[in-house]
Amino acid sequence: VLFLQGGALLQFGMVPMNFLRNTGKAADYIVTGTWSKKASEEAKTQGKVNVAWDGKAGNYNRVPRQDEIKLDPAAPYVYLCSNETIQGVQYPTLPQLGDVPLVCDSSSDFLCRPVPVERFGILFACAQKNAGPAGVTIVIIRDDLVAKSPSDLPSLLNYKIMAENKSLLNTPPTFAIYFVHLVTNWLLHDIGGLGKMEEINKKKSKLLYDAIDASAGFYQAHAEPSSRSIMNVPFRLADAAFEEPFLKGAAACGLVELKGHRSVGGCRASIYNAMPMAGVEALRDFMLDFAKKHAK
């Protein structure tokens, strides 16, 4: 486990700088939304990219079925983003992706549930969703991959050198790392572990998806049921004219930051680990109430 400086975007560059550049091969990227798309673009600055699946045709409303993923067996790695914050698309379970090392950006669902760590070549997550404040990224990387980092990279961009120095080559972002320590202690001792956290997250997200599904189309979830995120719930009001009154009414009840990301519009409830059940219940109640008043 490494604690590296900067956010997930730096990993979007470090992964291909360390493992794609100068290989002559193409890395596989599974594109399920904004962040995996951006990661594939960053990788193109360093080498060839094979888009193994792209959800664009469905406006990124689901993860791929197993048989849709076109892998290149010679790829140095296959890359996916386990949860897309903007589209609210999350893998319910990991797909089977062969023997090629699996690289996963788990920035927005790290610590939301247990994960089979042994199946990843690299699992990385910036802290600022479930783990701590912005400024540090946690990277879990397999020893055989660390050993492959090339020597012609600056030290801070080289996994091997950072691992040899136990993430302490220079002063690390100490406050952010201390905060991660407090959060993981909270998860372990106050919540009772990641299994318990997953139960809570499933319950929280179900409250909102149930309200959406029971609204007879007044609210519409962006993601297909099979791929719905338990962290981010993006939705639209079927009649877009109600969107502004909805956001204003919600804000008046203290329910804020519900506007969808500027790149997709609509509404979005981000319900990371730190959002209590009561916050989600209050939003659910407001949604039911608003629909009752305005549905035809």
Does residue 94 touch its own copies according to CB under 8 A? no
Site string for its own copies, 33-52 (x = CB under 8 A): ---------x--xx------
Site for its own copies in 11-30 (CB under 8 A): 12-14, 16-17
Q: How far apart are CA 37 and CA 29, in angstroms?
A: 8
Q: Taking CB under 8 A as the rule, does residue 176 contact its own copies? A: yes
Decide: 31 and 41 in contact? Cβ < 8 Å. Answer: no
* Residue 36: CB atoms within 10 Å: 26
Terminal alpha carbon distance of the chain: 54
CB of residue 161 vs its own copies: minimum separation in angstroms? Answer: 10
9 interacts with its own copies by CB under 8 A: yes
Q: At what angle do helices 8-19 and 34-44 cross, to 10 degrees?
A: 40
Token couple for 22: 């100068």
Query: How many Å apart are CA 105 and CA 228, to the nearest integer?
Result: 17
Q: State how far the alpha carbon of 121 is from the alpha carbons of 17, 45, 143, 164, 255, in Å.
A: 16, 22, 9, 18, 39
156 lies in the binding site for its own copies (CB under 8 A) = yes
Which of the following is catalytic: 37, 129, 160, 204? 129
Is residue 260 a contact point for its own copies (CB under 8 A)?
Answer: no
Q: Does 7 bind its own copies (CB under 8 A)?
A: yes
Catalytic annotation present for 105? yes
Using rule CB under 8 A, residue 151 touches its own copies: yes
Q: What single DSSP character describes residue 259?
A: B
Min separation Cβ 127 and its own copies, Å = 10
Question: Are 273 and 187 a contacting pair, CB within 8 Å?
Answer: yes
Of 153, 264, 288, 295, which one interacts with its own copies (CB under 8 A)?
Answer: 153
- Please provide the size of the chain in residues: 296
Angle at 249 between CA 89 and CA 201, to 5 degrees: 35
* Catalytic residue flag (residue 210): no
From the candidates 105, 109, 160, 204, give the one annotated as an active-site residue.
Answer: 105
How many separate helices (H) and strands (E) can be counted in the chain?
A: 8, 12
The residue within the footprint of its own copies, chosen from 116, 171, 254, 278 (CB under 8 A), is: 171
The residue range among 70-78, 112-120, 166-174, 253-261 that interacts with its own copies, by the rule CB under 8 A, is 166-174
Residue from 32, 128, 215, 232 touching its own copies (CB under 8 A): that is 128
Among 66, 73, 118, 154, binds its own copies (CB under 8 A): 154
Binding residues for its own copies, per CB under 8 A?
Answer: 5-10, 12-14, 16-17, 42, 45-46, 126, 128, 133-136, 151-157, 169-176
As annotated, the active-site residues are 35, 105, 129
